[in-house]
């Protein structure tokens, strides 16, 4: 029996914690907002509007990162003298939206904004990860003032996205963890970042946009905090987290987006097609069986890959999406 819900309707129902017919996934997202030049420079590299230079060494596997050792802020108490919050009012928002939305089917996919460099990530681009963490530990008041100013800027940006892109969902990227644990104590997160993430989530909801927190690494200690912030879900959830327990406990109020073992053999450029297809099956068999609180997402970042958030043009990533759609067809046939 054919599904009665479109992919867009089905994913929106999942993100809104409502009944849905099948497991949503990456193909149901119409992604936009990743390529804004003031966030990472033109094309994802170069100098951004803060003055941070972005590069792509071989270790970055095609991704971008701030140029090592070129951090512009060394004393967070002096941030007002050093950090200039960019003016984005003159940016051609209408033109950017028209270009990005031209090939997106709003009737079939959820229009999803991916906003990189949220407040902690931006602090790290300005100070380096070590400098940012030391600032949070040693100068929490000055650090919170800077983070609050960055939050104001992000909220201003959300307003422009709302006006020109009219998105359904907004995912703010703040990686606060390694594969093993948080960069900081949960108490530090709750004191310095949770109030600001809450403000961002509130701003989204004021515009009718679904807020999602993107955090790589093992951050399952923060699930209740993300729920408290008002986030509908958590994006880029890696297999190092206790995903099954989260879905069992919170699947009616919180959505896990991810699950693919990106740091294991299936996430490596050396993976075989059989390995990546088997990993998609594992995710769907393990996490989708609850029928709630799960959106499949998986990809491999390959060396030399152009700055493209979908990473869908190479054979391995194409196999991931193909296997996912095969499983969807199986779900539909069994419905």
Whether the Cβ atoms of residue 45 and residue 64 lie closer than 8 Å to each other: yes
Q: Cα dist. 33→38, 91, 99, 123, 224 in Å?
A: 11, 13, 11, 20, 27
3-state helix, strand, coil in the chain (%, to 5): 50, 15, 40
Q: What is the pLDDT of residues 78-121, one digit of tens each?
A: 999 999 999 999 999 999 999 988 888 888 899 999 999 999 99
The mean pLDDT value for 117-145 works out to 97
Give the separation between CA 69 and CA 72, rounded to whole angstroms. Answer: 9
Alpha helices per DSSP H over 230-314 = 243-250, 273-287
Angle at 261 between CA 240 and CA 235, to 5 degrees: 75
pLDDT band at 311 (very low <50, low <70, confident <90, very high): very low
CA atoms within 13 A on the CB side of 320: 29
pTM for the full model? 0.95
Share of the chain above pLDDT 70, in %: 95
Share of the chain above pLDDT 90, in %: 81
pLDDT band at 146 (very low <50, low <70, confident <90, very high): very high
Give the separation between CA 315 and CA 104, rounded to whole angstroms. Answer: 22
Give the separation between CA 308 and CA 272, rounded to whole angstroms. Answer: 22
Whether the Cβ atoms of residue 154 and residue 147 lie closer than 8 Å to each other: no
| Of 1 and 16, more confident | 16
Nearest to 320 by CA among 231, 241, 259, 238: 259
DSSP letter string, 210-226 = EEEEE--SS-GGGHHHH
Q: What SS3 state is found at 242? A: coil
Map out the domains of the chain as residue ranges.
7-334
Dihedrals phi, psi of 52, to nearest 5 degrees: -85, 130
Residue 91, exposed/middle/buried by CB under 10 A (0-12, 13-18, 19+)?
middle
Give the separation between CA 220 and CA 95, rounded to whole angstroms. Answer: 39
Residue 200, exposed/middle/buried by CB under 10 A (0-12, 13-18, 19+)?
buried
pLDDT of 202 higher than 80: yes
Dihedrals phi, psi of 32, to nearest 5 degrees: -150, 170
Give the separation between CA 219 and CA 87, rounded to whole angstroms. Answer: 33
How many residues are given for the chain? 335
How does 8-34 read in b/e, with b if 16+ C-beta sit within 10 Å? bbbbbebbebeebbbbbbbbbbbbbbb
pLDDT for 324 equals 98
What tokens does 255 get?
């959505």
Nearest to 232 by CA among 210, 247, 216, 260: 210
pLDDT for 298 equals 95
Q: What is the pLDDT of residues 208-266, one digit of tens each?
A: 999 999 999 999 999 999 999 999 999 999 999 999 999 999 999 999 999 999 999 99
pLDDT for 306 equals 44
Residue found by looking up tokens 């460099």 in the block: 117
User: 7-334 in CATH: which number?
Assistant: 3.20.20.210
Give the separation between CA 295 and CA 15, rounded to whole angstroms. Answer: 9
């Amino acid at each position: 029996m054919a599904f009665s819900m479109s992919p867009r309707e089905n994913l929106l129902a999942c993100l809104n914690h409502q009944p849905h017919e099948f497991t949503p996934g990456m193909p149901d997202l119409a992604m936009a907002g990743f390529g804004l030049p003031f966030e990472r420079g033109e094309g994802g590299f170069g100098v951004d509007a803060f003055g941070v230079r972005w590069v792509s060494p071989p270790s970055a596997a095609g991704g971008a990162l701030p140029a090592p050792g070129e951090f512009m802020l060394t004393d967070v108490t002096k941030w007002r003298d050093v950090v200039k919050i960019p003016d984005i009012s003159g940016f051609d928002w209408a033109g950017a939206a028209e270009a990005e939305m031209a090939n997106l089917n709003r009737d079939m996919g959820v229009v999803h904004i991916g906003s990189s460099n949220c407040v902690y990530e931006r602090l790290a681009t300005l100070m380096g990860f070590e400098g940012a963490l030391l600032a949070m530990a040693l100068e929490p008041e000055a650090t919170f003032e800077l983070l609050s100013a960055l939050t104001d800027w992000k909220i201003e940006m959300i307003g422009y996205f709302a006006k020109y892109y009219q998105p359904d969902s907004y995912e703010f990227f703040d990686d606060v963890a390694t594969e093993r644990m948080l960069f900081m104590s949960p108490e530090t997160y709750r004191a310095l970042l949770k109030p600001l993430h809450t403000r961002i989530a509130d701003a989204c909801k004021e515009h009718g946009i679904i807020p999602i927190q993107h955090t790589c690494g093992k951050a399952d200690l923060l699930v209740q905090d993300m729920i408290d912030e008002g986030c509908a879900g958590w994006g880029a959830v890696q297999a190092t987290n206790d995903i099954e327990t989260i879905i069992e406990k919170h699947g009616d109020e919180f959505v896990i987006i991810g699950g693919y073992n990106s740091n294991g053999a299936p996430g490596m450029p050396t993976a075989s097609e059989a390995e990546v297809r088997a990993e998609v099956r594992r995710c769907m068999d393990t996490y989708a069986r609850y029928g709630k609180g799960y959106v499949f997402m998986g990809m491999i970042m390959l060396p030399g890959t152009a700055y493209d958030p979908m990473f869908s043009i190479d054979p391995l990533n194409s196999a991931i999406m193909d296997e996912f759609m095969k499983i969807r067809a199986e779900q539909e046939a069994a419905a």
